[in-house]
Amino acid sequence: MTLSTPQQPARNAAAGSGSADGDAAAASSAGASVAGESPVADAVGGESVGGAAVVGAAAVGAAAPAAAEDRNDRGGGRREQRHTRDIWWRRLTHSSRSLRLRVVVMTLVLSSVVMVLLGVVLQRQIRDGLLANKQSAAIAEIENAMATARVQLVGAETNPTKLRSQLARLVQDIGNPARVSDTGAQGSTAGVFDPVVAPLRPGASVASAVGPIDDVPPPLRAEVEGGNETWQYTTVMRKNAAGVLAPVPALVVGGPVVIPRSGDAFGVYLIFLLTTEQKTLAVVQQTLLVGAAALALALGLIAFLVATAVLRPIRRASAVAARVAAGDLSERMPVRGAAELTSMASSFNGMAEAIRAQIRQLEEFGALQRRFTSDVSHELRTPLTTVRMAADTLHAGRDEFPPHLARATELMVDELDRFEDLLTDLLEISRYDAGMAELQAESVDVRTSVMDCVAAAGPVAATTGVRIITHLPDAEVRAEVDVRRVERILRNLLNNAVDHAEGGSIDVELAADEDALAIAVTDYGVGLKPGEAGLVFNRFWRADPSRQRRTGGTGLGLAIALEDARLHGGWLQAWGNPGRGARFRLTLPRVPGFMLSASPLPLRPPDDEAGDRDGVGGGGVGSVVGGGDPAANIVAGRGAYDAMRAGGPFVVGPGLGASVGAPAGPDAGARTGPDTGPHTGPEGGHG
């Protein structure tokens, strides 16, 4: 007889796998299940076979409020834990610089994934094989039991008491030869089982059955009553080793027995406990886990050793590259080992040799350039001196020349002045290039240097209609600086501002704090285009080559000013806005060797948005130079200078207005940092 499978009238609520074509009858019998496509989880269930353990609805409902309360109470702690985990994860995945660690971690992760998948597949195969053997043996056993029942139940008693006795003898005979287990259940080649025989006649009660009829799921009994042989996985309650009732997976097979003469029908059921299979799967799972852990450790160790061996040449190459970067251009990598390593070593050595050749060539070119510049500057001094003497002689007698010759003499003297300045600048640049520049620091009141430079720029400013407004603090601003270099920086900044102020005004501010002093020169002319703030300090660079220099600059002034600032350990920075002007800020330490971290003046003008540039109310010493008669401008500048030095009242020459600037001491502006990078507006020009 062929064993039929019921049409899934119920499905165990704790099933971990398989199909669930019908689940209406599951509610009628808690814990009952019907064999389906994947009976594994029904039979053994839980974590021991890889299925997902399911918590009952009652347990979930009871635990939910407690879990919610726990989450509310410990929310802050959990957030800290998550933050800590995130930090460590980022360090592991993003911040790790060890390629060897990455190789080992990747090997462990990938091998773990493969082993987990392989373990799941092996476990399912073993489980399915065990259950298939169990089913085959159980089917054979139920066939034997049904044959025995057909023989012994011929002429079954109608009296309930006698019928029960007859069924009890049948139950005993079904298990022959008797192999009694510790629990009293019968044994066979299919394993331990409990036989159950129950009459199927109309009106027969469950009490007339012999055996644990309550362990037979109602859906299976219904199938047997309908004349079908079937089997089903379920869970029964049995005492464990501690004597406590516990759920045990079981396989129940059953079939009907019909007596031909009388027409009586009986249901024969065999309940096979799956404890042996469950223990076998637990051993398999433990074996797989231990084997996977050992294999993972072995793979991690192998990956570590392999990565160490592979990365050893790379570490050697890194060490060689570090020594080359430190200046040892003779360092080379040994060319040996595998083909890939020898190719890398050869390429690296070729690159190092090419770099050394290029550096040597550049050093030679640089030395030649510096020597050429220095030699040319020195060699031109002698003929220039002769030409200067002749030009001065002609210039002294220009009043006796015709007008065109007198004008030519004046132009020649002006160009000779510019030529001498150019030679001086070239010599200074050559000293910086050769590393021969030295700082001659002395303690001075920087206000004096500022006023000297402003007074010197007065005549040129007057010819262009530019006014120079100074904002100096009342107190002394003493610092240990090289006066010659600081005044050269200020002259270059003032000359540059006069060239680009376009008849407007120029603000000169001085401020200081305990550690540093700052001088800012601001004009309100053409300004700077984006990117030009970083170019204005290049040698011979001009934003607009067509612009005419009014101060006779050489194109090296700002480059030399930057080198002078660096020699002091200071900053020289530029900011500009097209059509709004430009601002140059010089920041110097008050003591040589001090490391600057901020500036007493902001790089961007505080009143950048607009306003009257002619003066700002407040106390302190201020002066306006330019904008009137050239002679008066000189007097005004010198008068302001003399008044400041003498401590007397501020005197302004004829035709000039006075601008009294606010104190520009430590509180004159917010301290700002080094402002790395150019600061410019959208467009403009300066140079």
Q: Which amino acid is present at 5?
A: T
DSSP state of 680: E
Give the domain 440-680 fold.
Answer: Heat Shock Protein 90 (3.30.565)
C-alpha–C-alpha distance, residues 453 and 610, integer Å: 27
Beta-strand pair 193-199/265-273: antiparallel
Q: Which helix (H) or strand (E) holds 433?
A: helix 403-433
At 153, list the tokens: 């139940």
Closest CA to 626 of 486, 466, 496: 466
Distance between CA atoms of residues 308 and 149, nearest Å: 74
β strands within 364-489, DSSP E: 442-445, 467-472, 478-481
Greatest extent of the chain over all pairs of C-alpha atoms, in Å: 165
What phi and psi values does residue 529 have, to the nearest 5 degrees? -80, 165
Structure-derived torsion over alpha carbons of residues 471, 567, 457, 581, reported in degrees to the nearest 10: -60
**3-state SS, residue 252:** strand
Cβ-contact 41, 49 below 8 angstroms: yes
The per-residue pLDDT for 336 is 78
* Contact between 216 and 252 (Cβ < 8 Å): yes
Q: What is the DSSP string of 34-75?
A: ---S--HHHHT-SGGGTPPP---HHHHHHHHHHHHHHHHHTH
* Angle in degrees, CA 383, 389, 395, rounded to 5: 130
Query: Among residues 428, 451, 474, which one has the least CA distance to residue 567?
Result: 428
Query: What string of H, E and C letters represents the secondary structure of 458-505?
Result: HHHHHHCCCEEEEEECCCCCEEEECHHHHHHHHHHHHHHHHHHCCCCE
Q: Where are the domains of the chain?
A: 102-331, 349-420, 440-680
Closest CA to 462 of 276, 633, 318, 235: 633
What's the rounded Cα separation, in Å, for the pair 528 and 357?
A: 40
DSSP reduced 3-state for 514: coil
Token couple for 89: 């994860």
* Phi, psi dihedral angles at 488 (to 5 degrees): -65, -40
Q: pLDDT averaged over consecutive 10-residue blocks of the chain (687 residues)?
A: 38 34 35 37 39 34 43 56 67 60 88 90 90 88 83 65 71 58 47 80 60 86 86 88 87 84 78 88 91 90 88 82 84 80 84 87 81 74 83 86 88 83 76 78 93 90 88 92 92 89 89 94 88 83 61 72 91 90 94 91 74 34 37 37 39 31 36 41 40
Measure the CA–CA gap between 79 and 68, rounded to whole angstroms.
15
Q: How far apart are CA 238 and CA 249, in angstroms?
A: 10
**CA 309 from centroid of its chain's CA atoms:** 30
> Can you tell me the distance from the alpha carbon of 497 to that of 461, in angstroms, rounded to the nearest whole number?
10
Which candidate, 389, 375, 460, places its Cα nearest to that of 423? 375
Do residues 516 and 589 touch, judged by C-beta distance below 8 A? yes
